[in-house]
Amino acid sequence: MHEWALAESVIKTAVEHAAAEKLKKLKETGVVFGELQAIDQDIFVFALEELRRQYPAAKTCRFKIINEPAAFLCKACAHKFSLKALKKTCDEAEFIHFVPEMAHTFLKCPKCQSPDFEIAAGRGVHISYIRGDK
Ligand SMILES: [Zn+2]
């Protein structure tokens, strides 16, 4: 049910932004969807469409999903790599789809084999922009 709570917070944020900026009409909200999260995108989009009906200000708003690929940055050698590169180095890479915190236990930099890397992009879900008419 996490998808529903998330969808509601996205709608609320857009509606509150519209009120704060005195927008007459919300047009589009960009929602960045990271590759590394356990949110079901279909359920999330469905929840958005259902819940927005409860918010008059959100009725005119289009919610655009922007898929963001994961990117990792090695702290040892500064090599930047993708989830695809990681999967080639490790059979257990599937785990990070569910528990990003576990990534370091299973994964290594494909270049220098260091387990010391950070997730530079593709984590979680957040709002990228909110557009509307004044
Ligand atoms: Zn490295």
Question: What's 56's domain CATH number?
Answer: 3.30.2320.50
Q: Could you tell me if 32 and 18 lie in one domain?
A: yes
71 Cα to the center of ligand 1, angstroms = 13
Q: Half-sphere exposure (CA, 13 Å, Cβ side) for 36? A: 21
90 Cα to the center of ligand 1, angstroms = 15
120 Cα to the center of ligand 1, angstroms = 14
Residue range of the domain that includes 50: 2-68+122-133
Query: Can you give the pLDDT at residue 47?
Result: 96
Q: Could you tell me if 36 and 76 lie in one domain?
A: no
Other beta carbons within 10 angstroms of residue 23's beta carbon come to 19
81 Cα to the center of ligand 1, angstroms = 9
Q: Which residues of the chain have pLDDT under 70?
A: 1, 87-106
Residue-wise pLDDT for 90-128, tens only, equals: 555 455 554 566 666 667 888 998 988 888 999 889 999
46 Cα to the center of ligand 1, angstroms = 40
Looking at the structure of the chain, the number of domains it has is 2
Query: Can you give the pLDDT at residue 19?
Result: 94
Separation in Å, CA 111 to CA 31, 49, 58: 32, 43, 46
> Contact, 131 vs 71, CB < 8 A?
no
- The sheet with strand 62-68 has its strands ordered as 62-68, 25-34, 125-133
39 Cα to the center of ligand 1, angstroms = 29
Query: Can you give the pLDDT at residue 89?
Result: 58
Q: Could you tell me if 63 and 78 lie in one domain?
A: no
Q: Could you tell me if 59 and 108 lie in one domain?
A: no
125 Cα to the center of ligand 1, angstroms = 27
92 Cα to the center of ligand 1, angstroms = 19
